[in-house]
Amino acid sequence: MTKRKLYRIIYSNAFHKELSSIVNYILYALHNRNAARRLYKSVIGSIESRSTGFPDAYEIFKSDRLTKEYYRIYVNNYVVYYSLKEEVMVVEHIFYSKQNVLELLS
């Protein structure tokens, strides 16, 4: 049986800005404090849950246009992109699922 590892999580500045922008839009433009709070908790909870399991057991998102390999976490209408470096999970981005991700990640 494969042993579970606990990955340390590092959140990039880009991820913090993107998540803040999404939450602020829901909070201030849509005037929905509860939805903003729920989304924030879901995103962070999904990341933490993935870090305690097997974050490397999921499909790698690859493209010839990208310089690194990303893994994905789907949370509602958003996708979190992370990379792995040894036992560190680097949370890099969060985008709306309908956006052109290759353009944003390139």
Residue pLDDT, tens place only, 35-93: 999 999 999 999 999 999 889 989 899 888 888 899 999 999 999 999 999 899 999 99
The per-residue pLDDT for 64 is 80
* Residue 10: burial class (beta carbons within 10 Å; 0-12, 13-18, 19+): middle
Look at residue 84 and tell me if it is in a domain: yes
Other C-beta atoms lying within 10 Å of the C-beta of residue 74: 10
Contact by Cβ (8 Å): 58, 81: no
How many domains is the chain built from?
A: 1
Residue 46's domain comprises 8-105
Query: With a threshold of 0.95, does the pTM exceed it?
Result: no
CATH code where residue 13 lies: 3.30.2310.20
Contact partners, residue 78, CB within 8 Å, separation at least 6 = 22, 39, 43, 94, 95, 96, 97
pLDDT tens string 5-19: 789 999 999 999 999
Residue 86 maps to a domain: yes
Average pLDDT over residues 10-29: 98
Let me know if residue 1 belongs to a domain: no
**What was the pLDDT predicted at 2?**
59
